[in-house]
Amino acid sequence: MPKSNPNKSYLPTKLCLVCNRPFTWRKKWAKNWEEVKYCSDKCRNSKPQSPKGELK
Ligand SMILES: [Zn+2]
């Protein structure tokens, strides 16, 4: 039987483009969750550099 957590609302998750680990929605990303691609500032700052510039 699957567990249910009625007291916890579902939070969306994404995969970090740098470390490929799933990370969970955080309140600080409420405004720009659609644009969040990295789990942390550390990963965001260590994103792989492409010779043709950054992907938008
Ligand atoms: Zn990461």
Q: How far is the CA of 20 from the centre of ligand 1 (A)?
A: 6
Q: What is the pLDDT at residue 10?
A: 87
Amino acid letter for position 37: K
Q: How far is the CA of 9 from the centre of ligand 1 (A)?
A: 23
The tally of CA atoms less than 13 A away on the side-chain side of residue 23 is 19
Neighbours of 37 (CB within 10 A): 14
Report which of residues 8 and 42 the model is more confident about.
42
This model's pTM is above 0.85? no
The tally of CA atoms less than 13 A away on the side-chain side of residue 42 is 2
- CB neighbours of 43 closer than 8 A, spacing ≥ 6? 16, 17, 18, 19
14-50 residue pLDDT tens: 999 999 999 999 999 999 999 999 999 999 999 666 6
